[in-house]
Amino acid sequence: MRNRVRELFCSILSAVLVAGSVDTAILKTLADEGDSSDNQNTESTAETTEEPEKTENTIEAYTSSNTADVYRMYNPNSGEHFYTENYVERDILLRAGWDYEGIGWTAPLKNCNNAEPVYRVYNPNSGVHHYTMSGGEKAVLVSKGWHDEGVGWYSDSQKEVVLYRQYNPNSGLHNFTVNKNENDALARAGWQSEGTAWYGVNDPDLTITHPAAIYKQIDMSAVYDFNYYVNAYGDINKLYAHNDAGALKHFAECGLNEGRSGKASYDQAAYDAIKKKLHPKYPEAEAVFNAGLPRTLQNAFNYAMVPWVYRTVDHSLGTHYFAHLGYTQRTGNCFVMAGMFCELAKALGYNAIQCYGAVNVRGGLSTHSWVEIDGRVYDPDFQVEVGRNGFNIAYGQRGTLTYHKYGTMGE
């Protein structure tokens, strides 16, 4: 019987990431070949083939153990793209309000196939990062006050996947992409195409090791798991099996509203709370509070008091029609003021109802609208036009209007 065994050992050194952490991947791969024997009952012999010593020309096959995903981030405020191998750094930026655009490319780890470093530098004045393989370019930037943040990742010496570099002469920002169409589109839009920046590798394993679970600064890990979501639904798997950014966005923007489960086991209260944050029932009212209005009923009432101008009094148009006029034009009549206050109060959790009817005036009745909360009257228009308190008053209270309620308005 003849027996042949082959062993292959590959050691990957530390990849230093500028977020302050060090990722170490040590690969031990054993390739065993089976044995074969002849049909004779003779004494067996063993033959061993030693692994040849590696040289500079030895090419290693790329695997998930000697490559790393590079995450692509976008700052919607500055327009900057940011790239990192460090998923912890990625999540810190997500919590700070950056958008996650998915895995930008796959990079070799240090010392694999003579990979070459890509340097990362930071401008403390503009807050912008830059990335380059050129030690000379890095030195020039550092001499001008940029901070040297070390090696961001490595470039493939085999030049498997091109990373294109573009420059925006107006903003001073750079963009890096594997997508030739994106490169060309930016060039047509006025960016300067600066050729090849460095090289990535063809992803040897499409499994996403650290999928994102933070969206719009909300940690959704309590109700969302990428692997569960893409495997639980055929349509999601078809679209996002290897796209954690796309799957997360779908769950946040669509899945929650469709009632889809994002995880095998989750707390329904947490699910509902995240859904409410991402999909408020009264988004324009929430936008008012998010812009800085203190979340109190009195502040909501004060906000709803706007300069009076004539508007329609057609109650069939519903509360939001009038509220929207108030949010956008900041003027209106009693229906507009009541509509705004009604939505703001509902966003705060009050059981507010917009009423329509009439009030007594000299010579008869005048069409009017106000808000009811727990049987009490809230009438911002009354306070604007008459100058008396219209907040939390009783029907029939002395010094107020005489209200004739005809009905309540739909949303």
Q: How do beta strands 352-361 and 67-74 pair? A: unpaired
pTM: 0.69
Which of 278, 297, 327 lies at the terminal end of a domain, its last residue? 278
Which residues fall within 8 angstroms of residue 2, CB to CB, at 6 or more apart?
35, 36, 37, 38, 44, 45, 46, 47
pLDDT tens sequence for the chain (411 residues): 333 333 322 333 233 333 333 333 322 332 333 333 333 333 333 343 444 455 556 788 999 999 999 999 999 999 999 999 999 999 999 999 999 999 999 999 998 989 999 999 999 999 999 999 999 999 999 999 999 999 999 999 999 999 999 999 999 999 999 999 999 999 999 999 999 999 999 998 899 999 999 999 999 999 999 999 999 999 999 999 999 999 999 999 999 999 999 999 999 999 999 998 899 889 999 999 999 999 999 999 999 999 999 999 999 999 999 999 999 999 999 999 999 999 999 999 999 999 999 999 988 999 999 999 999 999 999 999 999 999 999 999 999 999 999 999 998
Q: What is the largest CA-CA distance in the chain?
A: 124
Which residues fall within 8 angstroms of residue 355, CB to CB, at 6 or more apart?
338, 369, 370, 371, 372, 403, 405, 406, 407, 408, 409
Q: How do beta strands 376-378 and 364-373 pair? A: antiparallel
Task: Say yes or no: 291 and 372 in one domain.
Answer: yes
Say if 48 falls within a structural domain.
Answer: no
Total domains in the chain come to 3
Q: What is the rounded distance in angstroms from the CA atom of residue 359 to the CA atom of residue 144?
A: 72
167 DSSP β-pair partners: 174, 192
Task: Say yes or no: 296 and 394 in one domain.
Answer: yes
Task: Say yes or no: 257 and 323 in one domain.
Answer: no
Q: What is the DSSP letter of 39?
A: S
Full residue range of the structural domain in which residue 185 is found = 67-200
Task: Say yes or no: 180 and 247 in one domain.
Answer: no
Say if 52 falls within a structural domain.
Answer: no
Q: How do beta strands 45-46 and 2-3 pair? A: parallel
Task: Say yes or no: 263 and 158 in one domain.
Answer: no
Task: Say yes or no: 158 and 249 in one domain.
Answer: no
Q: What is the rounded distance in angstroms from the CA atom of residue 194 to the CA atom of residue 176?
A: 10
Say if 5 falls within a structural domain.
Answer: no
Task: Say yes or no: 299 and 361 in one domain.
Answer: yes
Task: Say yes or no: 79 and 187 in one domain.
Answer: yes
